[in-house]
Structure 1
Amino acid sequence: MGHGGNVIEELMADHREVEDMFGRIRAMSGGGQALRDVIDQVTIELVRHSVAEEQYLYPAVREHLDGGDALADREIEDHRQVEDLLKQLEDLRTDDPTMGSVLRQLMDEVSAHVEDEETNLFPMLRTACTPEQLDDLGDKVRRAKAMAPTRPHPAAPDSPTASKLLGPGVGLVDRARDFVTGRGK
């Protein structure tokens, strides 16, 4: 969850974690509880990661980058698509015939988003921000991930202010549900 370092290092470590989970999914030969467990782990990581980016990274993109509003809007739209796919996966049984295609679509969407962030957005941010600003953002992102929801909530507002106000409460409920059900262990 919290890797340390500046915001770019933190988020890239998250990216590697999710890629590793995708590799585990690709290596599985069947469904069942093992697949559900990895899907739950992917969901938890992606939801926390997205919430933290929307609360802190994308406002910084808007503030520090030329054309930052359009960049942030595009990234948030990517998140919305991923969250819709995560919600579909949450509602599907692992033996559902559509599970494989929804998983492939999720992995494709996330991989394209990661490639775009690491190739375009992160280098621009590294140039536009001071090391101290990037370190501060890293600290904020780590704190946000610790309080963020762990389940997809596609209908939730995606503004940074609403997310900062509602996210911790929703996150608390999600983590309580996870504890009771054993999800994400």
Structure 2
Amino acid sequence: MATQQDVIEVLVTDHREVEQMFGELEHMIGGIGEPAKTLAEKVVIELVRHSIAEEEYLYPAVREHVPGGNKLADQEITEHAEAEETMKRLEALEPNEREFWPTMELLMSQIRAHVREEENDLFPRLREACTPEQLTELGGKVQQAKKLAPTRPHPAAPDTPPANKLLAPGAGLVDRIRDAITGRGRS
């Protein structure tokens, strides 16, 4: 039986996967073909799922356990909202359009800054404030939330509990159906 990862391990793994995709995209900059569009879609899918899970479970835990957690969580949610707006713009673009690559580069910059802040500040503070059992329980919740989360940016959707926990699974189902019909995110 596999050992359950704690929330920080789960989220750092996601960060590394997205960074790997960013690296691949950087080698494609200026390209106009379908591989760039498909990889951009995969990045957005992963970022949306990751962000939703953080908003449902990570940030409420930060508010509850970390000194100054309300301010920290609010800052992280604001960064998510900005990146989500960028993802929404990117979703409407094709690689042959003038704004595609600058928008992708903006998204990469936003996410890289956000990841640095989380890994250098938020995660160490959370690890100090929570027990290993709490972190492991959160890891399971985050992994489950990612399975049900939307795969497309929804900037107008609520980003704090309880509304986000109620609406995200339904939006996720609709997104996954749309993705299956359109082939979005598949090579």
Q: What band does the TM-score fall into relative to the shorter chain?
A: over 0.9
Q: How does 1:1-185 map to 2 (within 5 A)?
A: 5-28=5-28, 30-185=31-186
Give me the identity figure in percent. Answer: 56
Q: Deviations over 1:47-68 (max 9, x none)?
A: 0000000000000000001110
Superposed displacement of residue 4, structure 1: 5.0
Give, in whole Å, the separation in 2 of the partners of 1:160 and 1:150.
19
Give, in whole Å, the separation in 2 of the partners of 1:52 and 1:24.
25
Q: How many residues align?
A: 183
Give, in whole Å, the separation in 2 of the partners of 1:37 and 1:89.
12
Deviates more, 1:91-100 or 1:53-62: 91-100
Q: Deviations over 1:100-123 (max 9, x none)?
A: 111111000000000000000000
Question: What amino acid sits opposite 2:67 in the alignment?
Answer: D
Give, in whole Å, the separation in 1 of the partners of 2:32 and 2:112.
22
Superposed displacement of residue 160, structure 1: 1.9
Shift >4 Å, 4+ stretches: none
Give, in whole Å, the separation in 2 of the partners of 1:134 and 1:93.
40
Give, in whole Å, the separation in 1 of the partners of 2:100 and 2:73.
30
- Unaligned 5+ residue runs, structure 2? none
Give, in whole Å, the separation in 2 of the partners of 1:13 and 1:93.
28
Q: So what's the TM-score if we normalise by structure 1?
A: 0.97
Give me the CA root mean square deviation.
1.1
